[in-house]
Amino acid sequence: MGSAGLDNLTTQANFGYQMPTLIQQLQQGTLGGTVNIPPLGEVIALSPGFKMPSTYKLFLSGEWHVLDGWRLTADLVTTKVNEDLTYYDTRVQPLVVNGVQQFLPDGRIRYDGLGTVAGKSSVNLGSNRDIIVGNTKKGSSYTVAFSASKSWEWGGDLAVGYSHQKMEDSAGAGMFFGTTAGSLYSGVIASEDPNRDKLGRSVYEIGNRFKVEFGYRKKFFGDNETRISIFAERQDGRPFSFTMQDSASGRSPVFGVNRTAQLLYVPDFRGDTNPADLNVGLVTFATQTDYDNFKRAFTNFDLPNGQLMEKYSKTNAPVGRIDMQLSQELPTLIEGHKLKVQFDIRNVLNLLNNNWGQVAEYSDTITLARVSCADANGIAIPVTSAACPRYRYSNVPTVISKTRNTAASLWFMQIGLRYQF
């Protein structure tokens, strides 16, 4: 429903008894003027066949007792999307000039984000969108985990574990970082089709995780147990992506959509026959600084050469953490009843030293270039022309910095009191 319609619902005297005129205009497509022109305001709606998200899941587990009291376990969890969410803009129209569909330099379909252009078949769409929330059946994951544990009579406990995960989704990151349909559509990385979500590696994927737990228990007085447990884990860092974004705001003159996160095209540096100029394959850099910054990122992050980058194809550095649990049973005046005091401490290293246990990560998406269309000589093409034989990259960041993950870097303690009987 358009925001204009929502704003005026409460002013209708007969609200709930008849359809407001404004909503009828919205349904008929006449809110912005004539019947053939889309409404001026944005529309956010559910697809007519929309289904609630659902997932198939399979869980298998095995346990074996071997050697002298060792307990081995193996677990497998697999999921397959039945219905997941996807977001797309139905207002977009393919850019067709003189009956010929237009494409971007790297082969992606190009939608119409231009104004008046000779021979263009579509109307001026403006910067607003008609976002539809639909369904996709794309997405799957699997996680396998193995562990070995043993307890000793002298009070020691030891457990070690390893898990491996693969996960693919379409709009998963948007569901995590977005709050409205507009931000969900805008924030999700687009596919080879700039208007559609990209199926690929999930931002939630943790490829490898190792865990070790050591505990010691002893009754120092009476029948009251004292226990200390230390948990250590090390896991792969979170995935992140490099993306590209139109130099202009609103509906992109280059891609023809109003969404910022487009798959980054990496020019062919290895095939560049003239490193002295600013032309590299299908790309012209706006300045020498842009060229140098991009080339440095290309080397430092080992970007793929002469192709589109895959979604979340890069991984932050591994992360480690040590946690601790202390518990003490206390007697009460009632026989068989006890109090148990428990301290759970997360990120013990940061508790010991403020400089320890810190986690610094790259952002989930990093815009490596602002892009516009350029002619064969690398000169920017005005929006009055539909030509786009080359990309022109500008605003390439000089430094790509990590930011501290505050939630993962700080220590905290939880104190609990339990009454047992």
208 vs 336, more confident: 208
**Nearest alpha-carbon partner for 308 in 188, 191, 386:** 191
pLDDT of residue 123: 78
Q: 114 in helix, strand or coil?
A: coil
Query: In which band, very low, low, confident or very high, does the pLDDT at 176 lie, cut at 50, 70 and 90?
Result: low
Instruction: Tell me the average pLDDT of the chain.
Output: 89
Tell the burial category of 72 from Cβ atoms under 10 Å away from its Cβ (0-12, 13-18, 19+). Answer: middle
pLDDT of residue 351: 95
pLDDT of residue 250 exceeding 60: yes
For the stretch 15-33, pLDDT in tens is 556 666 666 665 555 555 4
Tell me whether strands 283-285 and 390-394 are parallel, antiparallel or unpaired: parallel
pLDDT of residue 384: 86
Query: In which band, very low, low, confident or very high, does the pLDDT at 182 lie, cut at 50, 70 and 90?
Result: confident
pLDDT of residue 188 exceeding 50: yes
Query: In which band, very low, low, confident or very high, does the pLDDT at 34 lie, cut at 50, 70 and 90?
Result: very low
pLDDT of residue 14 exceeding 90: no
Average pLDDT over residues 283-304: 97
Q: 283 in helix, strand or coil?
A: strand
DSSP 146-211: EEEEEE-TTSEEEEEEEEEEEEEESSHHHHHH-SSHHHHHHHSPB-SSTTSBPPEE-TT---EEEE
Distances (CA, A) of 101 to 37, 93, 258, 299, 373: 22, 11, 20, 35, 17
Point out the least confidently predicted range of 57-61, 96-100, 171-175, 282-286: 171-175
The CA distance from 66 to 223, in Å, is 31
Angle at 173 between CA 245 and CA 397, to 5 degrees: 35
pLDDT of residue 171 exceeding 80: no
pLDDT of residue 204: 92
| Residue the block writes with tokens 């000169």 | 379
pLDDT of residue 11 exceeding 60: no
pLDDT of residue 395 exceeding 50: yes
pTM of the predicted structure, to 2 decimals: 0.84
Average pLDDT over residues 61-90: 95
What does the domain layout of the chain look like in residue ranges?
1-41
Six-digit token string for 50: 């929309």
The CA distance from 139 to 53, in Å, is 12
pLDDT of residue 175 exceeding 90: no
Q: Which residues of 280-299 are buried (b: 16+ CB within 10 A; e: fewer)?
A: bbbbbbbeeebbebbbebbe
pLDDT of residue 118: 86
Identify residue 284 by its one-letter amino acid code.
T
What residues contact residue 330 under an 8 Å CB cut-off, 6+ apart? 224, 338, 339, 340, 341
DSSP secondary structure code for residue 48 in this structure: T
The CA distance from 23 to 278, in Å, is 52
DSSP 194-262: TTSBPPEE-TT---EEEEEEEEEEEEEETTEEEEEEEEEEEEPPPEEEEEEEESSSSS-TTTSSS-S-E
pLDDT of residue 163: 98
Point out the least confidently predicted range of 183-192, 230-239, 255-264: 183-192
Tell the burial category of 7 from Cβ atoms under 10 Å away from its Cβ (0-12, 13-18, 19+). Answer: exposed
pLDDT of residue 186: 82
Helix (H) or strand (E) holding 7: helix 3-9
Tell the burial category of 417 from Cβ atoms under 10 Å away from its Cβ (0-12, 13-18, 19+). Answer: exposed
Q: Which residues of 184-202 are buried (b: 16+ CB within 10 A; e: fewer)?
A: bbbbbbbbeebbbbbbbbb
Compute the radius of gyration of the chain from its Cα atoms: 28
For the stretch 90-145, pLDDT in tens is 999 999 999 999 999 999 999 999 988 888 887 778 888 899 999 999 999 999 99
What residues contact residue 59 under an 8 Å CB cut-off, 6+ apart? 75, 76, 77
What residues contact residue 26 under an 8 Å CB cut-off, 6+ apart? 1, 2, 4, 5, 39, 43
Average pLDDT over residues 253-276: 93
Point out the least confidently predicted range of 9-13, 77-81, 234-238, 350-354: 9-13
pLDDT of residue 121: 84
Point out the least confidently predicted range of 185-194, 340-349, 363-372: 185-194
